[in-house]
Amino acid sequence: MRVWSTPARVVLVVAGAGLAVCVLAFLGALFLHVAPANSVSTAYRAQVDWVVYPEFEQNWKLFAPDPLQRNVEVDARVQTIGADGQVATGDWHGLTAGDWAAIRHDPAPSHLDQNLLRRAWDFYESTHGDGDAPAPAGSRGRMAEQYLERIALQRIGSGGDRVIQVQLRATITSVAPPSWSREQVDTAPHARELPWWPVQAEDRRGLS
């Protein structure tokens, strides 16, 4: 029978206690996240969100699942100016297609590949509705535009020229209902093309 030394026992007890405290704290944060709003969850909302988002976010309700009912493909292109002063407009680059290619056949796909672009487009739609007029500075709408713009700039190369404008479009296709459903759904793709957004030097700050 193996006999643990006193220092080893102390280490095991401390490690076990620490692990138990971490598990209890994590379960407590999840409970506050899913529980109805109360004084405790309100007071510690920032800490609870730090634990839950983004790895454990749930986009469904426990007794009323609401899966995504449409496919959104986001494309982008840039306009560049060369050393000779010539302006060129690039081809459309499939941002969503790149994410899908990274996800397919991957048993543990990246959380960013699955959700970054999708959530960025959802954020844009929630702040702009059906209109695409530039949002005023300092608003959530402007933040949504900058978020999409930086994603596009990070993924599209400039070929060495200076990028002066970027444009995005989304092709939205509703998912067809099951064969037994009588629901009528327009499954034709509908494109939404956003206006050109000018690109400043600070828009590329921190991008690889």
Tell me: the pLDDT tens digits for 7-42? 888 899 999 999 999 999 888 888 888 888 888 888
Residue 64 within a domain: no
Same domain, 83 and 183: yes
pLDDT tens for each residue of 161-201: 889 999 999 999 999 888 888 888 888 999 999 999 999 88
Q: 138 CB contacts (<8 Å, ≥6 apart)? A: none
82 alpha-carbon distance from chain centroid: 32
Partners of 126 in beta bridges: none
Same domain, 80 and 35: no
Residue pair 184/150 in contact (Cβ under 8 Å)? The answer is no
| 147, pLDDT greater than 90 | yes
CA atoms within 13 A on the CB side of 192: 15
Same domain, 138 and 198: yes
Number of domains in the chain: 2
Distance CA 181, CA 183 (A): 5
**Domain span at 76:** 70-204
Q: Give whole-number Cα distances, 114 to 18, 55, 191, in Å.
A: 33, 12, 21
Q: What is the pLDDT of residue 108?
A: 87
Same domain, 155 and 182: yes
Burial environment of residue 111 by CB neighbours within 10 A (0 to 12, 13 to 18, 19 or more): exposed
Same domain, 27 and 104: no
pLDDT tens for each residue of 43-95: 888 888 888 776 666 655 555 556 678 899 999 999 999 888 889 899 999 99
Identify which of 82, 83, 89 has the alpha carbon closest to the alpha carbon of residue 156: 89
Distance CA 175, CA 61 (A): 20
The secondary element (H helix, E strand) that includes residue 95 is helix 95-103
Percentage, residues of the chain above pLDDT 70? 92
Please give the model's pTM, rounded to 2 decimal places: 0.67
Provide the token pair at 159. 């070929």
Residue 75: helix, strand or coil by DSSP?
strand
Torsion sign across C-alpha atoms 135, 140, 142, 145:
negative
Residue 26 within a domain: yes
Cis status of the peptide bond prior to 54, with omega within 30 of 0: yes
Same domain, 16 and 85: no
Same domain, 42 and 99: no
Residue 65 within a domain: no
